[in-house]
Structure 1
Amino acid sequence: MKKTHLALSIVLIAAFLIGCPSKPVEEPPAVTQKPLVVFLVRHAEKVDASKDPDLSEDGKKRTEALAEVLRSANIEHVHSTDYKRTRDTAEPVAKAASLEVEKYDPSDLEAMAKKLKEAGGRHLVVGHSNTTPELTKLLGGDSGPEINEKGEYDRLYIVTIGKDGSANSVMMRFGEAYEEKEEEEKKAAAAGA
């Protein structure tokens, strides 16, 4: 029941943001044929700090939570960088929507932002702790405070751009909350000491 309310909330917020007037972004985006809604997330939890790790069990659970949250979002395109952790985070959403995961280059976020703005439609973009906030900004959204590299995997940014080029954004959390998880780990460590 809680997941259904969260999924419905996301869809309603996205619809609301499209209809809200906003100040145009500093550099107006290309006017699209249809409004743009972009859902942006950092990849889910990984097993270790190696260059291209798999997702951990917690990460796999988070990908399922993401797929559930976006189930009613009518995603039309799923984008991921070419790393296992990002592809594996994107895959459940792509599978649920019968889509292929499209790769993008995280070193050229300006090109990705331009591609999204020109395409319009509804997209999921899976990136990294540094690229996800940056792409959010390039789309005209507010990325909020810096992502905690060590364990913050629960941010979901939603950026909408209307036909007039005005951008709106909101940041939500999904899956197991970062703060709760961190606090539980501290309590468990203290109890074991």
Structure 2
Amino acid sequence: MQTICGNQFNQFDLCSILFAGPFLISTKMKNYILIIIAAFLLTGCSSTFYLVRHAERLDSSKDSVLSEAGQARANLLKDILIREGIDAVYATKYKRTQLTGKPLADALGKEVIIYGTDNTPQFVERMKKQKNKDYLIVGHSNTVPEMVLYFTGDTVHIGHGDYDNLFVVKMKKGIFGNNIKLEKRTF
């Protein structure tokens, strides 16, 4: 005897359920099940990538921390993205990118994940394979446009003094391929 959901079945009953069950379902019910499966397959999986340049830096040293304005911007970014369901925060090896993503990562109880900038195409391809995940990726004025290009094919520019760009890449994967949309926002 086996117990399933509080009910006891013998081996014969289990075989009957497993093998005869599909034949006992009405045609109408089978059609409903097929419609639900088809809808699930057609909607596919979606991921959203929030790409930003690091916030304002304190000085021009190679590994500068954020200025007071940069810290305020990093907190504003956290406030904007806190309800977006971010699964992970990525930043480069530099303090300014990590400190830009840290307020959101801390609020979510996550660590900032360091990624390399030496092979952007490979990084973007790896990120594109993620399913049903949303990410904040913090980069630089030269790497964020490069990532946008590899994600979407679109060219964007970030000026030397621009720190308020937020590029939102929405990728929906379906059985007919990827549908990718780019939204350009400021914050």
* TM-score of the aligned structures, taking structure 2 as reference length: 0.72
Give 1:96's aligned residue: 107
Is 1:72 matched with 2:83?
A: yes
Higher gyration radius (CA) = 2
Where do 1:1-193 residues align within 5 Å?
A: 34-120=45-131, 121-140=133-152, 142-144=154-156, 146-149=157-160, 151-164=161-174, 165-174=178-187
What is the distance in 2 between the residues matched to 1:133 and 1:37? Answer: 16
The total of aligned residue pairs comes to 140
Amino acid at match of 2:67: S
What is the distance in 2 between the residues matched to 1:152 and 1:117? Answer: 26
For residue 141 of structure 1, report the CA deviation from its aligned partner.
Answer: 5.5
Query: Which runs of structure 1 show a deviation greater than 2 angstroms over 4 or more consecutive aligned residues?
Result: 141-144
1:148-174 deviations in Å (ceiling 9; x for gaps):
11x110000000111131110111000
What is the distance in 2 between the residues matched to 1:167 and 1:134? Answer: 16
- Greater RCO (Cα-Cα under 8 Å, separation 6 or more): 1
For residue 34 of structure 1, report the CA deviation from its aligned partner.
Answer: 2.6
Amino acid at match of 1:171: K
For residue 96 of structure 1, report the CA deviation from its aligned partner.
Answer: 1.2
For residue 143 of structure 1, report the CA deviation from its aligned partner.
Answer: 4.2
1:41-62 deviations in Å (ceiling 9; x for gaps):
0000001111100100000000
Give 2:34's aligned residue: none
Structure 1, unmatched stretches of 5+, are 1-32, 175-193
What is the distance in 1 between the residues matched to 2:49 and 2:101? Answer: 14
What is the distance in 2 between the residues matched to 1:136 and 1:148? Answer: 15
For residue 99 of structure 1, report the CA deviation from its aligned partner.
Answer: 1.2
More strand by share: 2
What is the distance in 2 between the residues matched to 1:70 and 1:143? Answer: 24
What is the distance in 1 between the residues matched to 2:79 and 2:55? Answer: 14
Amino acid at match of 1:152: D
* TM-score of the aligned structures, taking structure 1 as reference length: 0.70
What is the distance in 1 between the residues matched to 2:118 and 2:166? Answer: 21
